[in-house]
């Protein structure tokens, strides 16, 4: 009888003690519960790729594949250049210096079709620690973030876009463009790495200066694009450098084509090759 009472007493005491320690040390199930709560409240701004989208990181490259029915697919193979630090892609805990990447497709008139991949930090939160500073994803990937407004219905500054955001009839899927006879679409890649300031882009200047960037940001994001023309039988497309996302005093979501002040950031990417597979026309 005493043994049974002791067990009944130890069970709640042990459970409470474990939960207390779990809260302090972030043991299971505390992070999981907090994550679920965060996702419920912020699901409109969290990016989740389609289940048929996969990514793979290698030492000097990153591959993103988007499969579609009837063996249609897109494979985007990013070969990193000499200025991309592969170690920085896997930083030490709490370093907060991971490069940020976004890959998406848009129509010939510039409307978002689908986002295939976004680096974990930018995908999960509107702001996060990057290079030791709290930064918004629009500070790092401004071109993609403004496009994402259409899918999320939330402007980069947090305002609700009541005019065009999150239109329910928009499927945000590339599948129709691969399976049917589309008008063509653009593939886009935007990349930014921390702490790559140069003589023009840095934080030691007035905030309204053309080259002002927030501490830790450095040079703007670089933007690559390729037009996928369905009338062509080719399977491979080489993405070209187009421009950049602008300094912290700009960041309107526009592409800035004058790259005369971009230096090392132009060497982040060696090449981006896209392979498009479509089902044979019957």
Assess contact for 187 and 155: CB atoms under 8 A: no
Rounded CA-CA distance 38/200 in Å is: 39
- Kindly indicate the confidence band of residue 37, based on its pLDDT and cuts at 50, 70 and 90: low
What is the model's pTM?
0.80
Higher pLDDT, residue 68 or 32:
68
Contact 134, 186 (CB under 8 A): no
What contacts 245, CB < 8 A, 6 or more positions away?
141, 142, 143, 190, 192, 220, 221, 222, 223, 251, 255, 256
Residue 81 has pLDDT above 80, yes or no: yes
Q: Are 202 and 211 in contact (CB under 8 A)?
A: yes
pLDDT at 165 over 60: no
Confidence bin at 9 (pLDDT 50/70/90): low
The structural domains of the chain, with segments of one domain joined by +, span: 1-42, 49-277
Confidence of residue 281 (pLDDT cuts 50, 70, 90): low
**How many Cβ atoms are within 10 Å of 220's Cβ, its own excluded?**
29
Q: Do 157 and 252 contact (CB within 8 A), yes or no? A: no
Q: What is the pLDDT of residue 24?
A: 62
The answer to whether 158 and 268 have CB atoms below 8 angstroms apart is no
Query: DSSP characters for 165-222?
Result: TT-TT----SHHHHHS----EEEEEEEE-SSB--SSSBSSS-TTSTTB--TTTBSPPE
Cα-only R_g, the chain:
22
- pLDDT band at residue 117, thresholds of 50, 70 and 90? very high
């Amino acid at each position: 009888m005493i043994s049974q009472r002791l067990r009944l007493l130890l069970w709640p005491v042990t459970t409470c003690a474990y939960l207390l320690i779990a809260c302090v040390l972030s043991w299971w199930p505390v992070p999981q519960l907090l994550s679920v709560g965060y996702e419920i409240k912020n699901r409109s701004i969290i990016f989740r790729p389609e289940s048929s989208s996969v990514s793979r990181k290698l030492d000097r490259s990153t591959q993103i594949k988007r499969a579609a029915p009837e063996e249609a697919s897109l494979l985007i193979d990013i070969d990193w250049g000499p200025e991309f630090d592969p170690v920085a892609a896997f930083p030490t805990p709490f370093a907060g210096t991971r490069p940020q990447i976004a890959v998406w497709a848009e129509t010939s008139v510039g409307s978002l079709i689908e986002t295939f991949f976004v680096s974990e930090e930018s995908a999960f939160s509107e702001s996060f620690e990057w290079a030791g500073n709290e930064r918004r994803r629009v500070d790092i990937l401004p071109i993609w973030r403004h496009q994402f407004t259409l899918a999320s219905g939330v402007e980069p500054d947090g305002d609700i876009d009541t005019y065009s955001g999150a239109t329910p009839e928009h499927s945000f899927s590339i599948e129709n463009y691969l399976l049917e006879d589309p008008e063509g679409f653009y593939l886009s890649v935007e990349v930014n790495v921390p702490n790559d300031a140069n003589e023009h882009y840095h934080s030691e200047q007035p905030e309204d200066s053309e080259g002002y960037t927030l501490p830790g940001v450095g040079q703007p994001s670089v933007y690559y694009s390729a037009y996928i023309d369905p009338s062509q039988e080719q399977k491979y497309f080489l993405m070209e450098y187009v421009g950049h996302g602008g300094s912290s005093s700009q960041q309107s979501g526009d592409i800035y084509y004058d790259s005369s002040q971009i230096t090392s950031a132009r060497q982040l990417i060696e090449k981006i090759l896209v392979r498009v597979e479509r089902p044979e026309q019957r």
